[in-house]
Amino acid sequence: AQSVTQLDSHVSVSEGTPVLLRCNYSSSYSPSLFWYVQHPNKGLQLLLKYTSAATLVKGINGFEAEFKKSETSFHLTKPSAHMSDAAEYFCVVSASNQFYFGTGTSLTVIP
Amino acid sequence: KAGVTQTPRYLIKTRGQQVTLSCSPISGHRSVSWYQQTPGQGLQFLFEYFSETQRNKGNFPGRFSGRQFSNSRSEMNVSTLELGDSALYLCASSLPSGSLYNEQFFGPGTRLTVL
């Protein structure tokens, strides 16, 4: 069975400080993992994806994520938060032609 | 390439009515998935279509149905609307399964309000 757990429903950081959004997954197969971002009243945009190549994945807007099989984690990081990063972030595992979404983490960036 | 388009963007209906939402995938994408997004339940998978066939289905009542046309465009229909059907309905398209790059590309959504 596939599932995704986003460990924090809300994260608040100051502008210019690092961002860490945590995600653990469960998958019966070698998973494909994704992070998506959703800005208010917008659709979802792909930030980055892991598909069994390099374990450190770089995405758009300075985000990156590291796949750790031993910890079944796929945490999203960014060295320095920007005001425009304020949004909802979703960790997703793909298996059997389905996407399994986490419950989302709302990121607030304080000026 | 044009992105995933959804029409209409906003809809207001009353209880008991039915509604049809439309989704045009990215050119060349043959898989279309539908999701319901609400504040309480988050993103929930409705169904996925591939080559005009429903390949996967989420845990929604039979009032929710869909179809896909030969040009990969898809529609979803909700009959006998209930207040709880108020949500953002997202459509996503992707390349067929088996691709290493099977990420889904999402449309902007249709905001359905049921009064």
| Span B6-43, pLDDT tens digits | 999 999 999 999 999 999 999 988 889 999 999 888 89
CB contact under 8 A, B48 and A98: yes
Q: What is the pLDDT of residue B100?
A: 46
Which residue of chain B comes nearest to A92, CA vs CA? B103
What's the pLDDT at A83? 96
Q: Cα–Cα distance between A108 and A85 in angstroms, integer?
A: 8
CB contact under 8 A, B100 and A101: no
Which of B103, B105, B110, B113 to mutate against chain A (most A CBs within 10 Å)? B103
Q: Please answer yes or no on whether B56 and A90 come within 8 Å at the CB atom.
A: no
Q: Find the angle CA(A106)-CA(A91)-CA(B92) to the nearest 5 degrees.
A: 100
Under a CB-based contact definition with an 8 Å cutoff, are residues A34 and A49 in contact? yes
Q: Is it the case that residue B47 has pLDDT exceeding 60?
A: yes
CA-derived radius of gyration, chain B? 13
What pLDDT, on a 0 to 100 scale, did the predictor assign at position B97?
58
Please, which residues have CB within 8 angstroms of residue A24's CB and are 6 or more apart in sequence? A4, A5, A7, A71, A72, A73, A74
Q: Which residues contact A15 (CB under 8 A, 6 or more apart)?
A: A81, A82, A83, A109, A110, A111
The HSE-up count of residue B48 (CA atoms within 13 Å, CB side) is 22
Contact between residue B74 and residue B60 where contact means Cβ atoms under 8 Å apart? no
Query: From A48, which residue of chain B is nearest by alpha-carbon distance?
Result: B103
Looking at residue A27, what is its pLDDT?
77
Which of A51, A99, A104 is nearest residue B104 as measured by Cβ atoms?
A99
Determine whether the interchain pair A44/B90 forms a contact, defined as Cβ–Cβ distance below 8 Å.
Answer: yes
Alpha-carbon A69 to chain mean position? 16
Query: Would you say how long chain A is, in residues?
Result: 111
Among the partner residues A44, A46, A104, nearest to B42 by beta-carbon distance: A104
A33-83 confidence digits (pLDDT tens): 999 999 987 889 999 998 777 889 999 999 999 999 889 999 999 999 999
* Residue B40: Cβ-neighbour burial (10 angstroms; 0-12, 13-18, 19+): exposed
Backbone angles phi, psi at A61, to 5 degrees: 60, 30
The rounded distance, in Å, linking the Cα atoms of A50 and A44 is 17
